[in-house]
Each structure stands twice: as C-alpha cells, then as structure tokens.
Amino acid sequence: MKRDFLAVTDFSKEEIFETFRIAEQLKADVKTGKTHHYFANQTMSMVFAKPSLRTRVSFETGMVQFGGHALYLGPNDISIGKRESVKDIAQVISRYNDWIMARLFKHEHMIEFAKYASVPVINGLTDYNHPCQIMADMLTIHEHRGTVEGQKVVFIGDGNNVCNSFLNFAAVVPYHFVLAAPEGYDPDPETLAKAQAAGLSKVEVIRDPIEAARDADVLYTDVWTSMGQEAERQKRLNDFKGFQINDELLSYAKSDALAMHCLPAHYGEEITEATLDGPHSVVFDEAENRMHAQKAVMVMLANSAGAGIQV
C-alpha cells in the first residue's frame, strides 16, 4: 500500500522523531559527500498551481541526490481542474512516475489527488496547510535547541496555512504554540479545536504580540498576504500593522530565542531586514532543512510501503 504525506497528523509522534533522525543523517551524508541513491532511476512529478522557489528546488535537488529525477509542471502546463480533472491528472501521472509532489490551491484537490494516485503524494502547500514546511521548521528547532518538546513557539501574524500546520503538529507532539493575530485572522477553527482537544500541547490564540513574545523560545512569522490573496493586500497591510518581528519584539523573548520565517519575506512588513539577517535568525537553516526533511519524509513513506531502506 502506498502512503501519502498530506498533513503533519499523517505521522505519529514516533514517526516524526524518526523523520528528524533520518533527515539529520541524510544532511550529514550530503555535507560529507556520501551518496545515498535510495530511489535510483525513480521519477517525481512536481505539480505547481502556485509559484515556488524553495519547494521546487529542494524537491528537485533531493531527487537527484537520491539518484532519481524530478519534473516541473507549472501552472500553465496542466491547468488543474480547468484543462483536465484532478482525478485524471493523478491517474495519468501515476502511470509515469513513482512520486507526486503537488502545490495546489484547494486542499480538497490535494485529498482527491491522493485518492486517485496510485503512488505516494506529498503536499507541497495548499490554502489550508504546509506540512513539509513545518517538518523543516521543527527539525531546525530540534537542531538549534536540542528538542522541540516543551518549546514555546510564537507565531506572529496570519492564522494561515503555515499556522494550521503548526497546530497539526501540536496535536501530535507536545509543545507550546501561541498565535498572536489580529481579530479576523484566526486559524482554521476545526484545526485549532483539534490541537487543543488532543491535550498534548498548550495552544493559545491571543491578540497582543508583546504578550505572546514573552519568554518565547522561537518567534516565527510568515507573509501577511499569502499566494492567492493578492486582492486583499491593501486591507491586510493595515490590519497587520504591529504584527511584525523586529529587534524590539525579540527583546521580550528569551535572550537566545530563534527568529524564523518560512520565506519568501517581505521586509518591513512581517519582519525587518535587520532581524532576518541578525544573530537570532535561523531562516536560511530552515530553508536548507526543507530538503533534508522532505527527503526523510520520502524515506518514511517508502519504508511504510515495504522498501526497507536503512538510514
């Protein structure tokens, strides 16, 4: 049976920690020049309905490092749901490729993709969530602070797709997640309720960024206007005033707090350039870890289907 990775909650806590262990080993292999052609001659279709730098380059490079090859299919190539149905695209690609990575607007389309694909589907972002990002972010926190359990991670800004994945993570691994968002920008209510009901993590949504930032281990932010919300940009610029990570907000966090951002960043909006380039920032470690975390997710999915890869 093939296995997909559509949300962080597809993995158990043990599987998440095993993914981190594998990611760290794969990262060490890359740094020392050790090859690991676990997916030699395998191919991946990367279906993008939205733009990307990190997701595209990290998956494509990761496939080469695995001895395989990835194909980029952009928004104008297949026009999901317009030129062709999700159902047919998923079945056709499954006849050519061993893997599918997709970045789509509607999360329902991602679920439909996985349903009709006979090969593993990895979610590279939807309007609802961004699980690969959160695996990379938590791997980065694990690397820099030795653990993710019990860490106070404070998200300043929009209760968006990235935020929903932090909530999904909170339903599986215990930590302390605080969202500071203006009224009207709360995360998906069902996802928030599930994260709180799981009873593992402390999960809070508050309005005051300074109160949220107090004693934080991590200050995290993302753009105020996500892909697909461009028409709301002006309103959002007004609504999110004050919800910025800068050196002043960092002064309320722990003295060794990490500043994080999934990128792309809009300097002077959700984060200042000085903070992003400053001593607390681990933003480029996060970006790098996208590749190692995703490769580890692939090993986990293959092993669930009986590949028996030993990392």
Tell me how many residues contact ligand CP (CB under 6 A): 9
Q: How far is the CB of 280 from ligand CP (least distance, A)?
A: 19
State phi, psi for 283 to the nearest 5 degrees: -60, -40
Cα Rg, the chain, nearest whole Å = 19
**Ranges within 169-228 binding ligand NVA (CB under 6 A):** 222-223, 226-227
DSSP-assigned letters across all residues of 50-83: S--SHHHHHHHHHHHHTT-EEEEE-HHHH-BTTT
Binding mask 116-155 for ligand NVA (x = CB under 6 A): ---------x------------------------------
Q: Does 275 help bind ligand NVA (rule: CB under 6 A)?
A: no
Chosen from ligand NVA, ligand CP, none, partner binding at 222 (C-beta under 5 to 8 Å by type): ligand NVA
Cα separation of 78 and 257, whole Å?
43
Cα separation of 241 and 145, whole Å?
30
Cα separation of 169 and 201, whole Å?
9
- 245: tokens are 């990570």
CA proximity to 127, closest of 113, 115, 109: 109
Q: Does 133 help bind ligand CP (rule: CB under 6 A)?
A: yes
Of 68-76, 98-106, 159-167, 212-220, which segment contacts ligand NVA by CB under 6 A?
159-167
Of 8, 262, 282, 283, the active-site residue reads 262
- In eight-state DSSP terms, residue 281 is B
Binding mask 230-269 for ligand CP (x = CB under 6 A): --------------------------------xxx-----
Q: Does 162 help bind ligand NVA (rule: CB under 6 A)?
A: yes
Q: Does 262 help bind ligand NVA (rule: CB under 6 A)?
A: yes
**Ranges within 179-238 binding ligand CP (CB under 6 A):** none
Q: Which of 53, 206, 210, 274 binds ligand CP (CB under 6 A)?
A: 53
Catalytic residue flag (residue 262): yes
What 3-state class would DSSP assign to 282? coil
- 290: tokens are 């996208």
What 3-state class would DSSP assign to 240? coil
Evaluate whether 197 touches 203 at the Cβ level (below 8 Å): no
State phi, psi for 153 to the nearest 5 degrees: -105, 120
- 300: tokens are 């986990």
Q: How far is the CB of 61 from ligand CP (least distance, A)?
A: 13
**Nearest CB to ligand CP, comparing residues 130 and 152:** 130
Q: How far is the CB of 311 from ligand NVA (least distance, A)?
A: 27
Kindly list the residues in this chain that would bind ligand NVA in the complex (CB under 6 A).
125, 160-162, 222-223, 226-227, 262
Active-site annotation, residues: 262
Kindly list the residues in this chain that would bind ligand CP in the complex (CB under 6 A).
52-55, 125, 133, 262-264
